[in-house]
A and B are shown apart, each in its own frame.
Chain A
Amino acid sequence: MEEKFDAIIVGAGAAGLGAAYRLAKYGLNVVVLERGQRIGAKNVYGGRIYTHVFEKEIPEFRKEAPVERWVKKERLTLMNSDDAVTLELFSDFSANDSFIAILSKFNEWLGKKVEDAGGLVIPGIKVDDLIAENGTIKGITAGDEKLYADVVIDAEGINPIIAKKAGLRDDWKPNQVAVGVKEVIKISENTVNDIFQLNEGEGVANLFLGYPTNYALGGGFLYTNKDTISLGVVIRIDSAIAKRIQVYDIIEDFRNHPFIHRILKEGSPIEYSAHLVPEEGLDGIPRNLVGDGILLAGDVAGFVLNRGLTIRGVDLAFLSGLLAAETVKEAHEAGDFSRASLSSYEEKLKNSIVFSELEAFKRASGLLGNLRFYETYPQILCEVLKDAYTVGENSRKIYPILREKMKGRLSLFTMIRDVISAVRNL
């Protein structure tokens, strides 16, 4: 084909669209290819996006972005099969805003922004392979069509088919990824406001430990959209296998837990989805993020922060896309798309919050592998508090109850060590 692009981007998620937006603003000739039939159709996540990078990059962000609700309350709930203990933070979060959005709508909006900036976004096209000449990537193939560019930005998400072909990364191992299943449940806007005590436009981000994953590694989540609720469970694959958990059944049990059931009893599910998410933090990032004529951005590069309480990938994906674009622009000016020239991308990432945040939580992924946080603590806490709040013949103080519940399950030493490690690392 005659037309050659400055850059081809594989995948219209936050990473690919971030790269395209910046490149289009630089005036480069860029095309995003997305295998889904429409932009956003294949994108799944929990529910919350951090504002900072979007606000900085897109001037119209506050006015235009399809925000469902701004997070006003953060909640953590520990659950056993009958009970739930919830800790709630109520704050205005004005310093570090995050909002609840439907990812497919959000990405669709980002796609429009890319087009407005002059980039092309083409859904319905699956990239099958890379075109390499003397080891340098020169373009892509889709079906029997070829498309050429100076550089390819691979933002294909969690399933690294293209990155593997470029020799940049391997498949994920079961202990490096989690599977998430999610339902969207329709209730009314007023019901959401009433149940969660919210004003118009305010939302709740609620995370759960314990029962929702059947005490396996992972957690549950609930986000309030405008007039729907996103409810889901994320479980690390190795833990799901070890515990023989059927991921699809488990969300059913979660939805029917009394704590959730009373929220959702009026609603009915209108959407189901499932998706993988990287869990490894820094250790999941491949050694090389660039090759000759190619860069990786977003999930395919492992840029997801899992603090246990929050999974954060959309803003990091977008930011890595911006940095990839910046690198491509410099390479364009220098007329050099070799690995050496593109390697400044790795520097840029290391100097950005993508790495500093992942660095800061480096030890978290070891800590998050500690099954006691999912199994033992939620159950003990529910039991202890329930006993403590139950008035009976022989009401007791909390400490003796705690010691009784710990017997045979948890030593005081282990608990203290876990608490210290949690405080240090999260």
Chain B
Amino acid sequence: MDIIVCIKQSYDVQQLKFDPKTGEPMLAGAPRKMSDMDRRALEEALKIKENLGGTVKTVTVGPPESRDVVKEIYAMGADEAFVVTDLKLDKADPDLTAKIIVETIKKIGNFDLILAGAASTDDYSWQIPAKVAALLDLPFFPNAVSMTVDGGLVVESDLGDAIYKYKAPLPSVVSVSLEINEPRIPTLSAILKASRKQFTDFYLQDLGLEVVTELEVRKVVMPKVERKNVVVEATDPSKMEDGIKKILDELRKENVI
């Protein structure tokens, strides 16, 4: 089976620091990595390939530093990576990103299945896989928690209210959730083997596209969590009772007990 996986290089959100004053993320030079759900989509594709044979190709769209994700992609075991970069793609909206992905997929050619993470670790818009499916006019199965392919594609989708089990046609677009699998950690020998592997580097003009962003992001800020900072002093053990009472009073005042 020939599979195409959409993989974003997102910010490593756990490493992200926020300006304590403005609450804005400090993005300049912030570490990046393969988006968590996309990594699971790749893992799922590799497992299918290991079972049934075929190829796993990947599409990555983003700012120039996104090229670094290719090392991770190859180390995990993908056959061929395609990357589309442009400085302006840092601010691409989901419509544009989906369009670029689709144009790249058209260049790649034949496929039986498209996989992607349901949402990226940083922007978390949940829109790309559906838009890709729509543009390609393919059926879409969101948020898969499990999938099997032998004897036809079967996808279990978590749609919030319940898990729906679908018999899916091929080709289709499936987005995967975090629970679907535990992605492999590449071995040293796999990393070494992957380290000099070439990838295809597209620019927007190769695809006949340009960056037109209709979405304007006004602000990204950390939610404010105000702490009350109530300190109850109880250094004298004999006054412990008082201290406990004060704590209970505080908690009652907040209506938490």
Contacts and interface: CB of A to CB of B under 8 A. Distances in A.
A37 B20 CA distance: 25
B189 A186 contact: no
Main secondary structure, interface of A, reads strand
B31 A38 contact: yes
B109 interface: no
B29 interface: yes
Nearest to B185: A124
Given A38-B31, A105-B29, A120-B195, A147 B21 contact: no
B20 A31 contact: no
B20 A186 contact: yes
A33 B191 CA distance: 11
Interface string A248-267: 00000000000000000011
Interface residues of A, number: 20
Contacts of A143: 187-188
Interface string B7-36: 000000000011111000010010100000
Contacts of B187: 143, 145
B195 to A, nearest CB: 5
Interface string B27-58: 00101000000000000000000000000000
B135 interface: no
Contacts of B20: 186, 267-268, 270
Contacts of B19: 186
A1 to B, nearest CB: 5
B187 to A, nearest CB: 6
Contacts of B192: 1, 3, 31, 120, 122, 147
B193 to A, nearest CB: 8
Contacts of B18: 270
Contacts of A31: 192
Nearest to B32: A38
Given A38-B31, A105-B29, A122 B17 contact: no
Interface in B163-211: 187-189, 191-192, 195
Interface residues of B, number: 14
A1 B191 CA distance: 13
A194 interface: no
A198 interface: no
A163 B20 CA distance: 42
A1 B26 CA distance: 42
Contacts of A266: 21
Contacts of B26: 186, 270
Nearest to B12: A38
A186 B195 contact: no
A65 interface: no
B237 to A, nearest CB: 23
Given A38-B31, A105-B29, A122-B195, A268 B21 contact: yes
Leading 9 A-B pairs by shortest Cβ distance: A268-B20, A145-B188, A270-B17, A120-B195, A1-B189, A142-B188, A125-B188, A122-B191, A186-B20
Interface of B: 17-21, 26, 29, 31, 187-189, 191-192, 195
26 contacts: A1-B192, A3-B192, A31-B192, A33-B188, A38-B31, A105-B29, A120-B195, A122-B188, A122-B191, A122-B192, A122-B195, A125-B191, A142-B188, A143-B188, A145-B188, A147-B188, A147-B192, A186-B19, A186-B20, A186-B26, A266-B21, A268-B20, A268-B21, A270-B17, A270-B18, A270-B20
Given A38-B31, A122-B191, A186-B19, 11 more contacts: A1-B192, A105-B29, A120-B195, A142-B188, A147-B188, A147-B192, A186-B21, A186-B26, A266-B21, A267-B20, A270-B17
